[in-house]
Chains A and B, each alone.
Chain A
Amino acid sequence: MVRRARGPPSRILYGVIELQHLTKRYGGTLAVDDLSFKVEPGHVTGFLGPNGAGKSTTMRLILGLDAPTSGRALVNGRAYTSLRRPMREVGALLDASAVHGGRSAYNHLLSLALTNDIGAARVAEVLAQVGLAGVARKRVGGFSLGMKQRLGIASALLGDPGVLMFDEPVNGLDPDGVRWIRDLMRSLAAEGRTVLLSSHLMSEMALTAERILIVGRGRLIAEATVAELTSRYPSLEDAYMALTAGSVQYGAAR
């Protein structure tokens, strides 16, 4: 369900993430290498690649946490760091376990919300939306990884943003939770939002995403729809294996 601001709709849900020759070097390693792509609204875009391919770094660069060595990442045509109330434009979940265990779920979310002038009512709303209303006053330290994933998704949804990024949100979720995420991602996209989703679960990605970006060693390997990939290969997993064969840095011989 989309929550609209009071009064006339002042915000457009339509959002775009655009990378232009984005490059990030840490010392001698090139983590992201001349990456250019565009993530468009209206469908879930899957972000795939082997461990160490640069997916998380790319997301950190988009969010302005790391500064690019060259190139740039734009959100709705602007650098992320120029946004004044970024939660209202971009919601992100990078690491669900990155919470202070001593704080309650409610206080955690409220402390985030306050920075962007979002009120307590919206906190209660997202807690109900992710199914954590019953444990809102419990300390986060006692949460399972699955509950933390839900909490992280709740924090991304706080500002009702048009652009959403999730790094491995399915980790630690039970089958019920996996299906819930799938439905949530698809409904967020159906509302006209831009959803960038990274995951290693190919079968899940095939069910959730419509477009796929595959990166390896920091470079873009493939950009296609799921339908295109599954028509050329037996499955999305086979497509992924074939396309990333030359880019796996950490793995057994295959």
Chain B
Amino acid sequence: MSVLTSEWLKIRSIRSTSLIIGLSLSAVLLGFGLAVMAAGMYDSAPVDRRPSARISDLEEVVVIVPQLCMGILGTLAMTSEYVTGLIRTSLTIVPRRWPLLGAKAAVVVAAALVIGPTVVFGTYFLSRWVLGDRFSGAYTVAFLDRLPVLATVSLTVPVFALLGLGLGALLRSTPAAISITVGLVYVIPIIIGNIPEPWSERLGSLMIAALPRQITGDGNANSVYGSLLPPVAAAAVLVAYAALPLLVAAWLLRRRDV
């Protein structure tokens, strides 16, 4: 408990935290802007072409921003201590070591559990308000029918926070941990989209962004991602992204010299 309050103070007392949180929340504005643009394009299109107009679910597009930001927040929570050397003091005063990592995990997850739903649901409601029944009523689906996907997409944000923290603790390097996090979001899906089937679909089903719609059973039509996993397996993979690096890091933290 005492280590938890310490970590809460640590994360609140540096400037980069408010910067990262501000950037995360700006994703709502990005979603709003995209919705306004889409509405404008729809309205200026010839009436006979409007029925074929399609739009992505904007909240699933902009969630990439809080995902990466919270990943970075998680990474920095650990690597900033290695960069400054503060980690020696931190581990001297908490000799069991794992409570330090546990407290950092709790703090970044708490932040991400607020930020994720705020961005996803905020973007959803703003887009629904801006777009109305345009795009063949893409945003007129009943809220309760969309709720499972919105909730699961929101949960990917704390997963990224833990993934970032785990990688940071494991690699003890800010650039290395952030590169891998960004690679998982941008680079690897592009590579997977370009490899031959059936591997493209198989690996595409394992990507983080592919998991929410497999968990809810909606499937990933019209994307580079596959839909081969049953809901329980997809949920297990999502949990593994968060837990595996962190568990390995906790194990190593106890064993490595500092």
Which of A65, A80, A103, A112 is the one whose CB lies under 8 Å from B258? A65
- Structural contact, A100 and B86, CB atoms closer than 8 A: yes
With a cutoff of 8 Å between Cβ atoms, the chain A residues found around residue B9 in the complex are 107, 110-111, 114
Instruction: Tell me the chain A residues, 108-138 only, with Cβ under 8 Å from chain B.
Output: 108, 110-112, 114-117
Q: What chain A residues lie within 8 Å of B10 (beta carbons)? A: 100, 103, 111
**B84 contacts A114, C-beta separation under 8 Å:** no
A95–B13 touching, CB < 8 Å: no
Q: Which of B89-116 contact A (CB under 8 A)?
A: 89-96
- B-binding segment of A81-89, A169-177, A208-216, A221-229: A81-89
Complexed CA–CA distance, A63 and B92 (Å): 6
Residue of B whose beta carbon sits closest to that of A113: B6
**B95 close to A86 (CB less than 8 A):** yes
Whether A98 lies near B86 (C-beta < 8 A) is: yes
Contact in complex: B85, A116 (CB < 8 Å)? no
CB distance from B61 to the nearest CB of A (A): 32
Q: Report whether B84 and A66 are in contact in the complex, using a CB–CB cutoff of 8 Å.
A: no
Is B223 an interface residue when CB atoms closer than 8 A count as contact? Answer: no
Contact A81 B2 (CB under 8 A): no
Q: Would A115 and B6 count as touching, CB distance under 8 A?
A: yes
B257 on interface, CB distance cutoff 8 Å: yes
Q: What is the CB-to-nearest-CB distance from B254 to chain A, in angstroms, rounded to a whole number?
A: 10
B84 adjacent to A101 (CB under 8 Å)? yes
The distance from the CB of B252 to the nearest CB of chain A, in whole angstroms, is 13
For B258, the chain A residues whose CB sits under 8 A away are: 60, 65-66
Taken together as a complex, chains A and B put the C-alpha atoms of A94 and B92 apart, in Å, by 10
A92 touches B92 (CB 8 A): yes
User: Is A198's beta carbon under 8 Å from chain B?
Assistant: no
Contact between chains at B257 and A66 (CB < 8 Å): yes
Chain B: CB-nearest residue to A108: B13
- Chain A interface size band reads 20 to 34
Return the CB mask of B44-55 against A: 1 if under 8 Å, else 0. 000000000000
A residues in contact with B81, CB < 8 Å: 100
Closest A residue to B17 using CB positions? A102
Count of chain B residues near A, Cβ 8 A: 28
A99 and B84 contacting across the interface, CB-CB below 8 Å: yes
**B85 touching A103, Cβ below 8 Å:** no
Please report the C-alpha to C-alpha distance between residue A94 and residue B93 in the assembled complex, in whole angstroms. Answer: 13
Which residues of chain B are near A63, meaning CB under 8 Å? 92
Are B84 and A98 touching (Cβ within 8 A)?
Answer: yes
- In the complex, are the beta carbons of B89 and A102 less than 8 A apart? no
CA distance A60 to B5 in the complex (A): 26
Q: Chain A residues near B85 (CB, 8 Å)?
A: 95, 97-98
B13 touches A112 (CB 8 A): no
Q: Tell me the complex Cα distance, A69–B153, Å.
A: 48
The residue in chain B whose Cβ has the minimal distance to the Cβ of A82 is B95
CA distance A207 to B10 in the complex (A): 39
Query: Cβ of A112: which chain B residues have Cβ within 8 Å of it?
Result: 6, 89-90, 93
Nearest chain A CB to B196 CB, angstrom units: 45
Q: B231-258 vs A: 1/0 string, CB under 8 Å?
A: 0000000000000000000000001011
Residue in contact with A99 in the complex, picked from B15, B86, B94, CB distance below 8 Å: B86
Distance (whole angstroms) from the CB of B111 to the closest CB of chain A: 17
Contact indicator A115/B93 (Cβ below 8 Å)? yes
Specify which chain A residues have a CB less than 8 angstroms from the CB of B146 in the assembled complex.
Answer: none
Shortest distance from the beta carbon of A174 to any chain B beta carbon, whole Å: 24
Q: Are B95 and A80 in contact (CB under 8 A)?
A: yes
- The residue in A65, A83, A95 that gathers the most chain B C-beta atoms within 10 A of its C-beta is A65
A247 interfacial contact with B, CB 8 Å: no
In the bound assembly, the distance between CA atoms of A104 and B257 in angstroms comes to 28
Q: Which of B14, B92, B96 meets A65, CB within 8 Å?
A: B92
Among A80, A92, A115, the residue within 8 A (CB) of B3 is A115
Determine the chain A residues whose CB is within 8 A of the CB of B7 once the complex forms. 111
Please give 15 more A-B residue pairs, beta carbons under 8 A apart, in addition to A66-B258, A82-B95. Answer: A65-B88, A86-B93, A87-B93, A94-B92, A99-B84, A101-B84, A102-B15, A107-B9, A110-B9, A111-B6, A114-B9, A115-B2, A116-B2, A116-B93, A117-B2
Taking beta carbons and an 8 Å cutoff, which residues of A are in contact with B?
60, 63-67, 80-83, 86-87, 92, 94-95, 97-104, 107-108, 110-112, 114-117, 155
Can you list 11 A-B contacts (CB < 8 A)?
A80-B95, A86-B95, A98-B84, A99-B86, A100-B80, A100-B84, A102-B15, A103-B14, A111-B7, A112-B89, A114-B6
Pick the 3 closest A-B CB pairs, nearest first: A98-B85, A114-B6, A107-B13
